[in-house]
Amino acid sequence: MSESTRLSPQSSVLSPQSSLLGPRLRIAPSPTGDPHVGTAYVALFDLAFARRHAGQFVLRIEDTDRARFVEESERLIFDSLRWLGLEWDEGPDVGGPFGPYRQSERISLYQEHAEHLLGSGHAYRCWCSPQRLARVRKEMEARKEPPKYDRLCLGRSEAERRALGEASDRPVVRMRVPDEGLTAFDDLIRGRIEFENRLIDDQVLLKSDGFPTYHLAVVVDDHAMRITHVTRGEEWISSTPKHVLLYQWFGWDLPAYAHFPLLRNENRSKVSKRKNPWATLRWFRDNGYLPEALLNFLALLGWSMPDGREVFGFSDVVEHFSFERVSLTGPIFDLNKLDWLNGHYIRQLSLADLQQRLGPFLERAGLPVANADPPLTKILPLVQERLKRLAEAPDLVRFFYQPRGEYESALLLSKGLDVATTKDLLGAAIERLRAAKRFDAEQLEAALRALAAEREVKTGQLFMALRVACTYSTISPPLFETMAVLGRERVLQRLEDAESRL
RNA sequence: GCCCCCAUCGUCUAGAGGACCAGGACGCCGCCCUUUCAAGGCGGAGAUCAGGGGUUCGAAUCCCCUUGGGGGCACCA
């Protein structure tokens, strides 16, 4: 078996499978904590494209950086992506024919490939210390030259190199980039992109701890896992020529590339977990965004439906996605529009669904969920169309369960009414409500409108006083329905309480 | 500093030479509905298509330059 076939699992490991005929895409997050929205953004289109063309979507964990590794993140990644509804066909937890799907479990594969490049002269060992590298880089920059490694170690034996000083004990393996020529690739979204080889750095492929860098690992894995379309953020464009070179040296076919625009924050820089609290998927979940709304919104960033529809689901993306319709500019993440979309989806929810989704938020706020009195099925219809985010629900619902509220008694005084009049009105209202035959919205409205008319006050004046008394706020769901849900006893109690505050 | 990518209303976008003195959505403003807040309906303001050169009978659409923005330049991904 020749060296190159040994390195090319494609020819031996698997027998042809019909399921492998379609495209294969992957999302490859690093386990550095809560996954970034950008990860979901790209994954959404990956999955859509894979589904559209009957291919596969793969999840691979790129855990080659032990320093940045965060213990729980793998679970966080699984949870967040699944919450959004993005399911993978192959991955560390579900397995698949090209595993393992964690790079830390494939170290020897990368080492073999580095060895291969060393043998073919496309790579060399480097003993330069980090200090020296930093110094060299600085010097080059001062000379206004592209900052690159100066190749001090190229062509030298370990002994020769050590004699020169500033060497560390364990070498790295660097790729040996050609001095001349051009390396180019065709991006599905941007077209042809070219780089001059002389400007490309001799990238480290294998670190001194034996782990690969991203550059070696992606290429080896994408090939080994038969990835046909490499999708990722625009930030990777400038390292792509290095990857292209590796494919060439290994004698492998190049995958298609698609670099998505970078999601940006309001200052136009890329969204980062450091600067933007909403950069993680977890944030959206915790703040009560519906996964279908987030997904819809993400699909609207940098992509649009051919027919211009703005409200659509994942199946519509599957049906219509194409790389050609992805725009080139990095969209600013507009939470405002997301809120609108989220509110739209919330209004669409069935009562039962809404109640279920609200459960965790109400519980967290210490509000009753099961056996609540008044029951949520009565309350939720009143707040549903007022919600933009599920997390707002507790504040809208709380007053139903608070026998006594905190509010300025002055709020009870509607414009143009003095204390005595208001007190009198409240007293009269109490009487009417006590006498009301049925305590439903219709009856209440009739009775109270009549009262306002008799006392010659504007309905709004009376109603606002009652609203504050019953809901402890000048802003509330419709008054009579609210009163009906509260029930006679609670309403009378609150009105009496209000009366006594004046 | 060097390299790369990008450029249509505040924001997301439609637009792939004539159908555009540029369409939609969010936001904003006004009116209607109305007991508050929402939701909903109707209407409005908002882009000399970054600027300048070309190409063409004709350019938001093609080319070049300038400017602006972004990204990359680690033994991080």
Distance in Å from B7's C1' to A329's CA comes to 8
Q: What pLDDT does residue A319 have?
A: 97
A202-240: per-residue pLDDT in tens? Answer: 999 999 999 999 999 999 999 999 999 999 999 999 999
Residues constituting chain A:
502
Among A399, A290, A280, residue whose Cα is nearest residue A343: A290
Q: What pLDDT does residue A445 have?
A: 96
**A130, closest nucleotide (Cα–C1'):** B75
Q: What pLDDT does residue A19 have?
A: 52
What is the per-residue DSSP string for A83-106? Answer: HHT---SBBTTTB-TT---BGGG-
A42-83: per-residue pLDDT in tens? Answer: 999 999 999 999 999 999 999 999 999 999 999 999 999 999
As for the ipTM of the complex, it is 0.96
A238: number of Cβ within 10 Å: 12
What is the residue-averaged pLDDT of chain A? 93
- In this structure, the strands spanning A167-175 and A123-128 are antiparallel
Distance in Å from B31's C1' to A460's CA comes to 21
pLDDT at A87 > cutoff 80: yes
Q: What pLDDT does residue A502 have?
A: 87
Q: What pLDDT does residue A99 have?
A: 85
At residue A145 the predicted structure's pLDDT band, cuts being 50, 70 and 90, is confident
- Asked which of A17-31, A242-256, A302-316 is least confident by mean pLDDT, the reply is A17-31
Tokens at A408, concatenated? 């300025």
Question: How far apart are alpha carbons A310 and A341 in whole angstroms?
Answer: 9
Distance in Å from B1's C1' to A199's CA comes to 14
The backbone torsions φ and ψ at residue A40, rounded to the nearest 5 degrees and listed phi first, read -65, -35
Q: What pLDDT does residue A1 have?
A: 31
Q: What pLDDT does residue A146 have?
A: 84
A404-452: per-residue pLDDT in tens? Answer: 999 999 999 988 889 999 999 999 999 999 999 999 999 999 999 999 9
A148, A207, A273, A388: the active-site residue: A273
What is the distance of C-alpha A38 from the center of its chain? 6
Contact A314, A117 (CB under 8 A): no
- Asked which of A17-31, A148-162, A227-241, A273-287 is least confident by mean pLDDT, the reply is A17-31
Which are the contacts of A332, defined by CB distance < 8 A and separation ≥ 6? A264, A265, A266, A268
Contact A71, A281 (CB under 8 A): no
Instruction: Give the burial class of A360: count Cβ atoms within 10 A of its Cβ; 0-12 exposed, 13-18 middle, 19 or more buried.
Output: middle
Contact A55, A71 (CB under 8 A): no
Distance in Å from B53's C1' to A495's CA comes to 76
Tokens at A38, concatenated? 């950008």
DSSP A12: T
A315-370: per-residue pLDDT in tens? Answer: 999 999 999 999 999 999 999 999 999 999 999 999 999 999 999 999 999 999 98
Q: What pLDDT does residue A5 have?
A: 32
Tokens 């592209």 belong to residue: A146
Q: What pLDDT does residue A144 have?
A: 82
SS3 state at A384 = helix
Q: What pLDDT does residue A416 have?
A: 81
Query: What per-residue string of b and e applies to A182-212 under the rule 16 or more CB within 10 Å gives b?
Result: ebebebbbbeebebeeeebebbbbbbeeebb
**What does the pLDDT average to over A116-120?**
97
What is the per-residue DSSP string for A129-197? Answer: -HHHHHHHHHHHHHTTPPP----TTTT--HHHHHHTS-EEEEEEEEE---SSSEEEEEETTTEEEEEEG
Known catalytic residue: A273? yes
A29-52: per-residue pLDDT in tens? Answer: 999 999 999 999 999 999 999 999
- In this structure, the strands spanning A56-59 and A24-27 are parallel
DSSP A372: -
Cis status of the peptide bond prior to A360, with omega within 30 of 0: no
Distance in Å from B32's C1' to A483's CA comes to 27
Strand order in the sheet with A123-128: A123-128, A167-175, A204-206
SS3 state at A230 = strand
**A61, closest nucleotide (Cα–C1'):** B77
Tokens at A302, concatenated? 């940098």
**What does the pLDDT average to over A12-18?**
39
A452: number of Cβ within 10 Å: 18
Which are the contacts of A459, defined by CB distance < 8 A and separation ≥ 6? A448, A449, A452
- In this structure, the strands spanning A167-175 and A229-233 are unpaired
SS3 state at A340 = helix
A166-184: per-residue pLDDT in tens? Answer: 999 999 999 999 999 999 9
Sign of the four-CA dihedral A419, A424, A425, A429: positive
Among A408, A351, A340, residue whose Cα is nearest residue A376: A351
- Chain B nucleotides near the protein (CB, 7 A): 1-8, 10-16, 23-27, 35-40, 69-77
At residue A12 the predicted structure's pLDDT band, cuts being 50, 70 and 90, is very low
A462-495: per-residue pLDDT in tens? Answer: 999 999 999 999 999 999 999 999 999 999 999 9
A368-385: per-residue pLDDT in tens? Answer: 998 999 999 999 999 999
At residue A4 the predicted structure's pLDDT band, cuts being 50, 70 and 90, is very low
- Closest residue to B76 by CA to C1' distance? A65
Contact A265, A301 (CB under 8 A): no
SS3 state at A341 = helix
**A189, closest nucleotide (Cα–C1'):** B5
Question: How far apart are alpha carbons A425 and A422 in whole angstroms?
Answer: 5
DSSP A205: E
A197-211: per-residue pLDDT in tens? Answer: 999 999 999 999 999
CA angle A421, A426, A427 (to 5 degrees): 95
Contact A206, A213 (CB under 8 A): yes
**What does the pLDDT average to over A147-151?**
93
**A303, closest nucleotide (Cα–C1'):** B13
Question: How far apart are alpha carbons A43 and A415 in whole angstroms?
Answer: 55
